[in-house]
Amino acid sequence: MKIIVVAHRNKGHPPEDFAPHLQAEVKKELSLVAEDFIREIYSRADGNGAVLVVEATNEAEARQRLDELPLAQNGLLTFDIYPVGPYRGIVAAAG
């Protein structure tokens, strides 16, 4: 299942709170890319997080895997998770 994830930096944490965890964060993200869990990852233009496209069996699995990220483990990131499927308009037109 394809899932869109919007990661949010938690308010009240200055950049220096993130700095000690960034190397471990990137290492974990790269391992999740290698495992084909993270399919795409983008920085948000507003600088307040990231947008990811992940592949998981369900929303619970996606959340569990995202919670492995060091920034999430240290209370610096939260996630909005949106399971998605084919666009209904295309499905209806093809039918």
Q: What is the pLDDT of residue 74?
A: 97
pLDDT in tens, 42-54: 999 999 999 999 9
Distances 42 to 38, 47, 60 between C-alpha atoms, Å: 11, 11, 22
Domain count, the chain: 1
Structural domain that includes position 52: 2-94
Range of weakest confidence among 26-30, 31-35, 72-76, 91-95: 91-95
Percent of the chain at pLDDT > 90 equals 86
Cα 37 to Cα 60: distance, rounded to the nearest angstrom = 13
Q: Rounded to whole angstroms, how far apart are CA atoms 32 and 26?
A: 10
What is the CATH classification number for the domain harbouring 72? 3.30.70.1060
